[in-house]
Each structure stands twice: as C-alpha cells, then as structure tokens.
Structure 1
Amino acid sequence: MAPSRTLKVTMNDGNTIPVLGLGTYAPRSVPKSEGERATKVAIEVGFRHIDGAFLYENEKEVGQAIRAKIADGTVTREDIFYTGKLWNTFHRPELVRPSLEETLKSLQLDYIDLYIIHWPVSFKPGKKMFLTDENLKFISDTVDLRDTWEAMEKCKDAGLVKSIGVSNFNRRQLEMILNKPGLKYKPVCNQVECHPYLNQSKLLEFCKSKDIILVAYSSLGSHREAEWTDQKSPILLEDPVLGAIAKKHNRTPAQVILRYQIQRGVVVLAKSFTEKRIKENFEVFEFQLTLEDMKDIDGINKNLRYVIFDQFKEHPNYPFKDEY
C-alpha cells in the first residue's frame, strides 16, 4: 500500500477530511481521460482527497481511477475521501437525491464522503449546465435553500453520503442555513475561492467560529482557459513575495501557497494534471513557513477574485455582492 502523509482534520460531524486534495476540474477542451490519469497519479503519490463535481463532466473517469487503485491494492475505499457537488439545476428538494444517485452511478461507488451545494444560485431544471448570457435571463428558480438543505440531510441519513456542506456561500447565506428551524446537521464546510490574493480572512474567521471548515479552490490562481474567470488578472504564481519565500525554502511558489493555507487551518485543493506538479504539490508536509513568512503572504492580499461568474450576477442569490 502506498504511503500517505496527508494530515486530516475533524469536521463538526465527527468525520475527518484530508487537509490537501486534488482538484479535478478541467476545461472542456481537455480529454476526459486526463482526469482519470491524473487521479491515478495523485493516488499513487499519496493524495487521498479527490474533489469532483457533476459540472466537471468527468466523474465517470475519476471513478474509474479510484476503483482501479482500490483494485490493485494501492488504497482501500475507506482511504479515499471523495467530494461531489449538487449543481444549480437540482436544488429543488425532490431532485437532490436523484442528482446524488447519478453521481454515485457515474463513480460506481456506494457512497461519497462529502456532498456540497455547488452554488447558492438556483436554476430551473432541464437547462444546460454551461450557461450563456442568452438563456440566463429566464432560468433563475425560486428555491428556498433551506429546503434544499433538508434534502441534503436526508441523503446523509440514507447513507449515500457521509458528510454534507456548501460551496460559494457568503456569511449571510451560511447563517440562513445555521439558523434554519429544525436544523439537523450543520454544514461541515464552505468551499470557496481562496488564495493569497483573496485570503478570505473574515470569512475564515467566521467559519472557524461556527466550527465550519473553509476549503480553498483556485488556490494557485486562475483557470485562465475557463470562460468564467477574469482573464486580465495578475498571475499569482509570479508574485515576487511568493517567489522570494519559495527561494528561501528551496520550494516552488505553489508549494508555499499550499503550505500557507494548511498552516492557517484551511483545507486546500490543488488542481494539476501534470505528473511532476502533482508530485510537487504533495510535498508540502516536509517544511514549515515562519510567522514572518505568513505575515508577508497575508500582506499581498488584494481581495482579487479570479472566479467571478458574471453570468450569475443578476441572480438574487449571487454570493459576491456581500463583503464576505
């Protein structure tokens, strides 16, 4: 069995989550087989946390990789922590379980470890996943997210998923769930864009106060090939402060960024389909940043958001209008 040095933290429901995960999103131009190959490499390297989504359209291939590594004895099913996401067209309570069951069918797994509401914005069922400005004007759906959450709770009770959480929720939206009458399970996490240019310090502080883990996506910067990102933004990995700290520790800027998040109590996702980088991204448990390093990285925060999803801006639940 391949060694894994991945540290785990305990969530508010008692289950544990590895602090470092592999992101599996890829642009539609990338062959789906690349997701399978990268997942296999990541598991062989030592990754045990795999972050996927219905939206990514590669859960079948990622599932094949996980099952192959179980079959060859590299890991057991219990070693792997898989995150799936409920897409915006399935927020109606009666659609939540069928959506999760579709993910399980694609993965060919009996359960997943974490299922999260991908966005707080709800769309009418049956519309395309990938949205254009033309069809966004009439697809908003008036779904009470508290009802969606109740359906998520039922999925947990049914044993289809071990833990449930949310993604891209702001403080106000988190409080809406936390203050819901009859709440059975708190969200274990809030997965949001988080990196040194958007360090989410206020949201992180709030989440910690409620025993909710903040999970960082786009942790190394922008997917510039994605249509929902700001193409004019500066490249995070080229920041001189990060470069200087990386040089001091004989590490890469990416390793410094991942280590920064782990040390501040954030579960961090690293997306790469390149074998060399996947290996490098896992080598973050062998060094430590100093307090001065941490302060210097805190100092480059710009409140800069790469993932803006302009298409969602007119939706009443668009989360980024609030400060945090």
Structure 2
Amino acid sequence: MLNNGLQIPQVGFGLWKITKNTADIVYDAIKAGYRLFDGAFDYGNEKEAGVGIKRAIDEGIVKREDLIIVSKLWNTFHEKERVEPITRQQLEWWGINHFDVFYMHFPVALQYVDPKMKYPTGWKNLDHRVQESQATIQETWQAMERLVDLGLTKSIGISNFQGSLIMDLLRYARIRPALLQVEIHPYLTQDSLVKYAQSENIAVTAYSTFGPQSFVELKWDKAIDCPKLFEHSVVTEIASAHNKTPAQVLLRWATQRGLAVIPKSTHTARLVQNLYCTSFDLTPDQMERISGLNRTLRFNNPVDYLGCLYIFA
C-alpha cells in the first residue's frame, strides 16, 4: 500500500522497448493476470497500450478500476504551464481519464520540443542538441501536485532521483511522492537509497531488475561486456535449488527486499513465470550471495549515451 492509501501489485508489467504488437502484448498480459502497467511518454507506445487495455475492458476481462496505469512526465515538459497539457494528451492516448501513478521521469528539465514535430521527443531538441531549460524540480513538482488536485492522477512519484534530491523535495512537497522508481539489480543494489526511501514511507520500484539483459539489445558495450545475470553461477545455482528460472530468482531477490518490480516479456510462458515470482522464498544466505554481486554498476546513465547530464555524478 502506498502512503496515500492506494494499493498496487508488487509485480507489474513494464512497457519500455515494447515497440511491436504492443496492444496484443498488453492484452495478453492482462489475460495472464497482470494488473499494473508501467508506461511513459518516452516509450512512444502509450496509444497502442491503451488499445490493448480497452480491448480487455470491452471483453469484460477487467474493469478500469482493476488496473493500475502508470506513466511518466518526460524531461521536455517540466515547465509548469506544460505539465497539465501533456498529461491530458497522454491520458487521451491511453483512452483513460486518470493515471493511478504519474512519475517525474528524470530530475532534469530540457528544452521544450513540440511532440507534433518529434515523437517521442527524446533527449535532444530539433537541432539535435541536449539543451537544458530553466524549470526547477520544485516548479515541476508543484505542477504535478496540481494534477492530483484536478483528478488527473491519483499518485505522483519520482524516478531516477538520488537521496539528496529527495531530501530537498520533501522540504517543500505539499503532496509527498508515493513511489521512487530507480534502476536496481544485483550489480547495483542501491541499499542506502532503498533504506532512505522506505524510511520516508516512499515505496520503491526497481527497474532493469535483470541488469545488463535490458541493455544488450541496445548494443551498449557496458552491458555486452558484463557477465549476464541469467548465466551467473550464483543465480543459476539458486534457481536450480528452487526449481525456478534465473529470472524468477532475480525478481524474488528484489521483491523479498520489499521492492516492486516491472519486468517485461513478449513470451506467454515467461509472462506467467515472472508474475508468480513471489511464490517461493530465498534463504537469508541466498539473498546475501546475490547481493554480494554488487558492483555499483549503473547501465542507465545519461552521461554514457549523451556525453552530458551528470545526473548520477
């Protein structure tokens, strides 16, 4: 349960990099039992995801109130006057009248780009440059608080924030963040950040729980050169001991820490396996062995692929 009383599933479905057959995949995920869908403007597939949700609702598989629909405010819309219009546009794409959770995707404001000119707008402006804007996190957060007042979202959260930024935000937040979404996997355990967020009653969602797996297909050298967690002897031995898949072990390692997870898969069998990753428990020793793989290795670091924006410096 979130700090505003909203109950959300611990295991949801992530929509990052689902660029083909999105509607069918979302529909199939609902049929498999998923009830939380984690999207974002930057993923470029909100309209297609909404088609899948509408199909499931129209067929009576679920009702809207059964679902937790999550999206995110992209960096190019941080000025206070841009937050509400783009949120309304995203809701229109999804075909719904409110989000259940709406995150600030990154703690950085970039120059506005009209989505009619470029969609998704990405990190660079129309001149192909990364250009920061003058919007502050406080300005953006207060505009997001207004989204709650207007009923456009039930909860607001933060993504890719570090401890000092959270401390600052909590000084002026009228509505406290309900969730923090950050990269967490055995190579980046983020123990201190998780401990701090949970001490402030902010739920934590882990993304990229499988570590380099999510980034190999992007052909990032850091991920390609890193031992795959699915093949790591520590993970495979524990998976064999429980008669589970390496993916289920990695997800259970996260959920057993009290984290929510948002894995994705386009294969029906894996969809179900991922969803039911909480059906077994790892021993304390197994938890420690997996956590012992920590390298403080971050894959989603903008400075690596943009050459600027030292968000995690």
Verify same fold: TM over 0.5.
yes
What is the CA-CA distance between 1:105 and the residue it aligns to?
Answer: 0.5
3-state SS, counterpart of residue 142 of structure 1: coil
Q: What is the deviation of 1:36? A: 1.4
- 1:229, 1:38 → 2: CA distance? 29
| Contact kept? 1:230, 1:307, Cα under 8 Å | no
Whole-Å Cα distance in 2 between the matches of residues 108 and 66 of structure 1? 9
Q: 2:40, 2:72 within 8 Å by CA — same for their partners in 1?
A: yes
Q: Deviations over 1:1-46 (max 9, x none)?
A: xxxxxxxxx111111121111011116xx42xx2212211111111
Shift of 1:91: 0.3
1:68-117 alpha-carbon deviations (Å, 9 max, x no partner): 11111111111100110000000001100111101101011011100000
State whether structure 2 residue 278 is matched by structure 1 residue 285: yes
Q: 2:58 aligns with which of 67, 71, 75?
A: 71
**Retained in 2: the 8 A contact 1:122–1:141?**
yes
Say whether the 8 Å CA contact 1:91–1:148 is kept in structure 2: yes
Structure showing greater relative contact order (alpha-carbon pairs closer than 8 Å, 6 or more residues apart): 1
Paired with 1:229 and 1:14, the residues of 2 have a C-alpha distance of 42
Aligned with residue 108 of structure 1, among 63, 80, 95: 95
**Corresponding position: 1:145 with 2:137:** yes
* Inter-CA distance 255–70: structure 2 relative to 1 (3 Å threshold): same
Q: Give the fraction of aligned pairs with identical amino acids, expressed as a percent.
A: 37
> Which residue of the partner structure matches residue 267 of structure 1?
260
AA at the equivalent of 2:177 = P
Separation in 1 of the partners of 2:122 and 2:249? 33
* Equivalent in 117, 126, 130 of residue 104 of structure 2: 117
Q: Which amino acid aligns with 2:4?
A: D
Deviation at 1:282, TM superposition (A): 1.2
Structure 2, unpaired ranges of 5+: none
Specify every segment of 5 or more residues in structure 1 that has no aligned partner in the other structure, as ranges: 1-9
- Give the aligned residue type for 1:206: Y
Residue 289 of structure 2 is matched in structure 1 by: 296
> Is the partner of 2:107 in helix, strand or coil?
coil
TM-aligned CA deviation for residue 233 of structure 1: 2.8
Counterpart of 1:11, as a letter, is: L
Give the secondary-structure state (helix, strand or coil) at the position aligned to 1:95. Answer: helix
Give the superposed CA RMSD: 1.9
Aligned: 1:16 with 2:10? no
How do 1:182-221 and structure 2 match up within 5 A? 183-221=173-211
- State the number of aligned residues: 304
- The whole-number CA distance in structure 1 between the counterparts of 2:179 and 2:156 is 8
Question: Are the counterparts in 2 of residues 198 and 304 from structure 1 also a CA contact under 8 Å?
Answer: yes
Tell me the secondary structure at the aligned position of residue 113 of structure 1.
Answer: strand
Q: Is the 8 A contact 1:88 1:123 kept in 2?
A: yes
Deviations 1:253-285 (A, max 9, x none): 100111111111101110212222112111213
Residue 254 (1) aligns with residue 247 (2): yes
Query: Following superposition of structure 1 onto structure 2, how do residues 8-47 of structure 1 map, counting pairs within 5 Å?
Result: 10-26=1-17, 30-31=19-20, 34-47=21-34
Find the aligned partners of 1:237 and 1:135 in 2 and give their Cα distance. Answer: 40
TM-score, with length taken from structure 2: 0.92
Structure 1 residues 133 and 71, CA, compared in 2 at 3 Å: closer, same or farther?
closer
Map Cα deviations across residues 182-210 of structure 1 (whole Å, 9 max, x no partner).
Answer: x3110111111111111111100010111
CA distance in 2 between counterparts of 1:211 and 1:135 reads 42
Structure 2 residue identity aligned to 1:17? I
Which amino acid in structure 2 is aligned with residue 44 of structure 1? K
> SS of 2:69's equivalent?
strand
Letter in 1 for 2:111: K
The alpha-carbon distance between structure 1 residues 263 and 37, as it changes in their structure 2 partners (threshold 3 A), is: same
- Structure 1 segment 224-243 matched on structure 2, within 5 A: 224-226=216-218, 230-231=222-223, 232-243=225-236
Tell me which of 43, 46, 51 is aligned to 1:59.
46
Q: 2-side partners of 1:66 and 1:284: how far apart?
A: 23
* Contact residue 229 and residue 307 of structure 1 kept, 8 A: no
For 2:12 and 2:130, the matched residues in 1 are separated by 36
Equivalent position amino acid for 2:11 in 1: L
Deviations 1:113-164 (A, max 9, x none): 0000000111010175234699565511121110100000000011110000
One-letter amino acid of the structure 1 residue matched with residue 159 of structure 2:
S
Q: CA separation in 1, counterparts of 2:42 and 2:220? A: 13
Aligned to 1:175: 167
Q: Do residues 166 (structure 1) and 158 (structure 2) align?
A: yes
SS of corresponding position for 2:287: helix
Q: 1:43/1:187 Cα in 2 relative to 1: closer, same or farther (>3 Å)?
A: same
